[in-house]
């Protein structure tokens, strides 16, 4: 086999190998945090624990998926629940697609993981975890959150 033909075959082999490696990398699942460990205490306006309140954890990763998720737990006699941390797997190709899709939201676009908790109690009471006057929005860190939710009449 002439030297020039060997070089062309080597170049073809390297190009195909790199293409296969790039495709595998694009399809290989990447694990990332989906939610933190989230400890929640639910109280009434007087600060008393609310037993049996429904606490909802909602989460989505705008850069890796197109749907949100929820888990509901009931508080114990101390008004307490704890949600376990979660991870998610998504290939780089899907993450790229979802990030581009999210960008179509313009100035209202969201990226990356987001999670929040809210609670519902008897008699139409409700509340959400807040930081100051804003809803507590977990965006990938820290690995553990703690919130105190005060149930109030819905507005």
Q: Is residue 15 part of a domain?
A: no
Asked if residue 23 belongs to a domain, the reply is no
Give the span between the Cα atoms of 144 and 139, in whole angstroms: 12
Instruction: Assign residue 62 the CATH number of its domain.
Output: 2.60.40.1120
**In-domain check, residue 87:** yes
| Domain contains 9 | no
Give pLDDT, residue 108: 62
Q: Is 4 exposed, middle or buried (0-12, 13-18, 19+ CB in 10 A)?
A: exposed
Q: Is 7 inside a domain boundary?
A: no
In a domain, 8, yes or no: no
- From the number of C-beta atoms within 10 Å of its C-beta (0-12, 13-18, 19+), residue 32 rates as middle
Note whether residue 5 is domain-resident. no
CA-to-CA dists, residue 131 to 50, 134, 138, 147, angstroms: 21, 5, 11, 9
Q: Record the pTM.
A: 0.80
Per-residue pLDDT at 14: 81
Provide the β-strand partners of residue 57: 71, 117
pLDDT of residue 118: 97
**Residue span of the structural domain in which 120 resides:** 29-153
Q: What are phi and psi of 9, to 5 degrees?
A: -65, -40
**11 assigned to some structural domain:** no
Please tell me the total count of domains within the chain: 1
Find, among 59, 56, 71, the residue nearest to 139 by Cα.
59
In this prediction, residue 1 carries a pLDDT of 64
**Within 10 Å of residue 125's Cβ, how many Cβ atoms?**
18
Under DSSP, is residue 18 helix (H, G, I), strand (E, B) or coil?
A: helix
Tokens linked to 144:
């553990």
Write out pLDDT tens, residues 95-152: 777 777 777 766 666 778 999 999 999 889 999 999 988 999 999 999 999 999 999 9
């Amino acid at each position: 086999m002439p030297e020039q033909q060997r070089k062309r075959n080597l170049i073809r082999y390297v190009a195909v190998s790199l293409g296969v490696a790039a495709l595998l990398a694009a399809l290989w699942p990447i694990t990332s945090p989906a939610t933190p460990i989230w400890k929640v205490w639910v109280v009434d306006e007087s600060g008393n624990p609310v037993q049996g309140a429904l606490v909802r954890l909602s989460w989505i990763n705008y850069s890796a998926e197109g749907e949100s998720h929820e888990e509901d737990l009931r508080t114990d006699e101390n008004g307490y629940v704890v949600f376990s941390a979660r991870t998610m797997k998504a290939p780089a190709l899907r993450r790229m697609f979802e990030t581009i899709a999210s960008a179509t939201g313009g100035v209202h676009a969201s990226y990356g993981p987001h999670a929040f908790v809210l609670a519902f109690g008897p008699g139409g009471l409700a509340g959400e975890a807040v930081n100051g006057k804003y809803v507590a929005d977990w965006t990938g860190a820290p690995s553990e959150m703690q919130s105190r939710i005060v149930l109030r009449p819905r507005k």
